[in-house]
Structure 1
Amino acid sequence: MGINPPLITPIHMSAAYEFPDAEAAAGIFGLEVDGHAYSRLGNPTLNVLEERVAQIDGGVAALSASTGQAAVTLAILTLVEAGDNVVASNELFGGSWSLLGATLKRFGIETRFVSPEDPENFDRATDGRTRLYFGETLPNPRLRIFPIAEVAGIGARHGVPLIVDNTLQPFTCRPFEHGAAVTVYSGTKYLGGHGAALGGLIVDSGNFDWASSDRHPVMTDPDPAYGNVVWGERSRRLPDTRGRSSYLFKARETLLRDLGMSLSPFNAWLILQGIETLALRMPAHSRNAKRVAEHLTGHPKIVAVRHPALAEGIEAEHVERYLGGGFGPMVTVELEGGRAAGARFIEALRLFSHVSNVGDVRSLATHPASTTHRQLPEADLLAAGITQGSVRLSVGLEHPDDLLHDLDQALAAV
């Protein structure tokens, strides 16, 4: 009697895999045959997660990593060398800002931060050593939709791929349909939805020809890190989903191999459980966040409320174009009274948890200027839309009446 297949993806907790013979082992390590050798490079459970996230975005392949920050790092480092530069939005998550503005600088990689309010800023900052553009679909906590198509179009003229961090809008925004070449995710956030597991994903759209672009010698020149292989040629020989992306094939076989940013199979399994309800959760988050934003607008103790549902002009057009009528799960409020008022407000919340994470089914709150963006100078905080009185709300799936009551009682304590 045969064994019926499991309904739930199994967790393959194995560091290594037995080869059937010496020839097969040589073929796998020689990149001629697809197969697993060591879980630092790939694992059956991870493969399922990668395939599903690629399908969600409409991409040809995906690569998992230990965290969202690891995914962003791998996505960028795969394309750059010392002397190259990146043109990035100045409206970014604090960790990405630090990576691009400080850490990569130590390795001779320059980041040119520009305002996405005028997409042509990306064109003006581009030169012959620009390897990629980088932005966030819904910048955290600025919450102004990134002009994906406009920047991707500029990149197409120069042969520069656009990498979009779509962490806050999985399923509801599809950057590939607007010209983005790559998406990155923190799977810790809305993909998982439960806050129980760290993880990251990189997805290749399949729309950018990495192998024929003169701008990307890392893909077209022999790579001494792996026997002078030319990644754009060798990766096309393999039949599986990893073989359909020369970019991710290089990322897997060089940087993931060398830096060891591998995702745990157990964490991959946890994120897979969250993905099963993603299509239900994201619209519900959006509805609750819209209720919260509208309720707080005009409150005498609040200077400003930011949420895509409140956007006007070109920003409202971007919301309709890129979110398809949805509004997103995040709300940022600026309290009168600055940092002290923000602290009192957060400490008075009862249903909202005070944590630095976002993307849980439960509601969360934090003060960006003293936590996630603490390392930024004051001028850069303001450029990112953050004041000392800003509080970021990750609106969960609790009953909206309970959420509004908690916010009202906390504001009364300010």
Structure 2
Amino acid sequence: MTTQNPGFSTLAVHAGAQPDPTTGARATPIYQTTSFVFENADHAAALFGLQQFGNIYTRIMNPTQAVLEERVAALEGGTAALAVASGHAAQMLVFHTIMRPGDNFVAARQLYGGSVNQFGHAFKNFDWHVRWADSSDPSSFESQIDSRTKAVFIESLANPGGTFVDIAAIADVAHRHGLPLIVDNTMASPYLVRPLEHGADIIVHSLTKFLGGHGNSMGGVVVDGGTFDWSKSGKYPMLSEPRPEYAGIELHKTFGNIAFAIALRVLGLRDLGPAISPFNAFMILTGIETLPLRMQRHSDNAIAVAKWLKGHAKVAWVNYAGLNDDPNYDLQQRYSPKGAGSVFTFGLKGGYEAGKSLVEGLQMFSHLANIGDTRSLVIHPASTTHRQLSEEQQVSAGAGPDVVRLSIGIEDPADIIADLDQALANVA
């Protein structure tokens, strides 16, 4: 790139990528290899000792993956990134890097149901504990923090409710207590919201969703904001203390504002192993090239559908922050003026059974457990993604019995509405 400050759309196409120096290939190649040849013994020793950056083994790093990481870091405004096998893998590596047995973190209860399950159940096996707070009330995070708290976790745009979160206010709470703010930015994507600009320290994404955008490849990513002082409090020894695996290197002292991303790779991904495949990295890179176009179309279509649903006689309520009478509208305008995204929820007057009936009657919508596809998607969270939760937990997470979640695609909006119209006509 020749410009010093390229725009978002330019970064989405070009960041991290150059023509292949050997073949001249313009698209980033798929480096489908397990391992890489060393120049000599000294080169190998320097790579293994973190004295030089380079490729050793695809479980740890791969050239296709590297372009993906640099591109997402550029789009988020971060210093470095690590791409892995899924969004859940990204979250696991983040907490593996900062937590010790017996530690806790504070998370918004308004989260994707899979994250609620991971935090509340799977993490117990590591003796990591979650404390729940209300994303609409920053003070609820503060009241949960104690001496063993290591982080605060929120979504920028909560799934499934589609509500925007006051990132800056919660960042202030976290930083007053010397804690990093981790933000899952999957639902908004950096096109709509850039949490690092509002005080976040670490970003996670499910690349499977809007960044990849085509429902064909799994992946996750962690972006290091480069802003947090990992040495100040002594609470993060994996970053601030000498690492015996690497001849006593202190990662934060050595690598500065990319230390967290380095730790994720050389202490987490190296040993736990949730590597992204080069093919999936390639597919997601290709999807990112059209991210700005898709996200704007998603948002434009979603507001049209939300307005139509709000006027339908069988619809009890619509929760979409882009509606100017929505309680979340002011936050949406502050954090995401380009649009309110693709995903939102609504409820039918017939409740649980009506929601299930609607889902089964749709024809163009795909009934599946995903968001962020080019296609319009639908799910009834209470009977699927949030089924493992109690009804009280479902309601707290914005996935009560009557809730239907839509992920609006990039089809013609008239066709999306027509499909909803015919399905609603058959709902008792």
Check conservation: 1:160, 1:215, Cα contact below 8 A.
no
State how 1:256-335 maps to structure 2 within 5 Å.
Answer: 256-310=269-323, 312=325, 315-335=328-348
The structure-2 alpha-carbon separation of the partners of 1:179 and 1:258, relative to structure 1 and needing over 3 Å to count, comes to same
Secondary structure of the structure 2 residue equivalent to 1:133: strand
Is it true that 1:207 corresponds to 2:227 in the alignment?
A: yes
Alignment partners' CA distance in 1, 2:422 and 2:179 = 49
Residues in 1 aligned to 2:418 and 2:291: alpha-carbon distance in whole angstroms: 27
Conserved? CA contact 2:49–2:247, under 8 Å: no
State the Cα distance separating 1:300 from its structure 2 match. 2.2
The code of the aligned residue for 2:237 comes to P
Whole-angstrom distance in 2 between the partners of 1:180 and 1:232? 18
User: Following superposition of structure 1 onto structure 2, how do residues 5-404 of structure 1 map, counting pairs within 5 Å?
Assistant: 5-170=24-189, 171-224=191-244, 226-236=246-256, 244-310=257-323, 312=325, 315-404=328-417
SS at match of 2:302: helix
Show CA shifts across 1:312-349 (max 9, x none).
Answer: 57622211111124111112111122222111101110
Q: Which amino acid aligns with 1:216?
A: Y
Between 223-232 and 354-363, the greater mean CA deviation after superposition: 223-232
2:266 partner SS: helix
Give the SS at the match of 1:128: coil
Question: Quick one: which amino acid aligns to residue 112 of structure 1?
Answer: R
Q: Distance in 2 between matches of 1:3 and 1:286?
A: 41
1:5-58 CA-partner distances (Å, limit 9, x unpaired): 221001101101111111111111111111111011100000000000000011
Tell me the distance in 2 between the aligned counterparts of 1:34 and 1:140: 37
Letter in structure 2 aligned against 1:253: V
Q: CA separation in 2, counterparts of 1:223 and 1:362?
A: 47
1:281-315 Cα distance to aligned partner (Å, 9 max, x none): 10110000000100000322221111111265762
2:6 alignment counterpart: none
Structure 2: 5+ residue stretches without partners: 1-20
Q: Distance in 2 between matches of 1:213 and 1:269?
A: 39
Of 37-46 and 309-318, deviating more is 309-318
Higher alpha-carbon deviation: 175-184 or 293-302: 293-302
Residue matched to 2:15: none
2:424 to 396, 401, 411: 411
Give the Cα separation in 1 of the matches to 2:324 and 2:110.
Answer: 16
Of residues 399-408 and 382-391 in structure 1, the stretch that sits farther from structure 2 once superposed is 382-391
Q: Tell me, in whole angstroms, the C-alpha distance in 1 between the residues paired with 2:236 and 2:328.
A: 33
* Aligned-residue identity in percent: 45
2:9 maps to none
Residues 142-163 of structure 1: per-residue CA shift (max 9 Å, x gap): 2111110001011111111111
Native 8 Å contact 2:319 2:326 kept in 1: no
**SS at 1:310 equivalent:** coil
| SS in structure 2 of the partner of residue 372 of structure 1 | coil
How many residue pairs match? The answer is: 406
Residue 293 of structure 1 aligns to which amino acid in structure 2? Answer: A
DSSP-derived class of the 2:378 partner: strand
What TM-score do you get using the length of structure 1 for normalisation?
0.95
What root-mean-square deviation, in Å, do the aligned CA atoms of Structure 1 and Structure 2 show?
1.5
Moved more, 3-12 or 372-381: 3-12
